[in-house]
Amino acid sequence: MARKRVHLTPEEIAAYVDGGLRSNEFAAANTHLAACADCVRLLANTVKTRQELVAGINGELLAACAMFTAAAHEVRDLLNAKGLACPASIAYAAEKARHAIESAKAVKS
Ligand SMILES: [Zn+2]
């Protein structure tokens, strides 16, 4: 094995973040990271980008849950106005979506 200092590639950094490195690769990456500020910066940026991506996806999911809840309530009201019962599956799904929104709000506050 060459002792030459070789920077981690963006692919290796991504695998490091995702837990995709073998234990010997992980150990080698840790050794390099302990001595290389450049790669630590790249690692920090990668983690930040991942967090922003997850936050964005969570935001879209929450918006979808809110729209679904509103749509389910509209369907329920339309059916009720015609004297028909809302299918249990719609009520159940709307309740699940409402619960997901409540849980997300609880985590944020
Ligand atoms: Zn490096």
Is the pLDDT reported for residue 106 higher than 70?
A: yes
The rounded Å distance from CA 19 to ligand 1 centre is 19
* Percent of the residues in the chain that have a pLDDT greater than 90, as a whole number: 71
Average pLDDT, integer, range 26-49: 96
Mean pLDDT of the chain: 90
- What does the DSSP assignment read for the chain? ---S--PPPHHHHHHHHHT-S-HHHHHHHHHHHHH-HHHHHHHHHHHHHHHHHHHHHHHHHHHHHHHHHHHHHHHHHHHHHTT-PPPHHHHHHHHHHHHHHHHHHHHH-
Q: Residue ranges per domain, the chain?
A: 10-108
- Residue with the bigger pLDDT between 84 and 107: it is 84
The rounded Å distance from CA 55 to ligand 1 centre is 28
pTM of structure: 0.63
The rounded Å distance from CA 52 to ligand 1 centre is 24
The rounded Å distance from CA 63 to ligand 1 centre is 40
Name, in order, each residue with C-beta under 8 angstroms of 19's C-beta and a sequence gap of 6 or more.
none
pLDDT tens figures, 39-58:
999 999 999 999 999 999 98
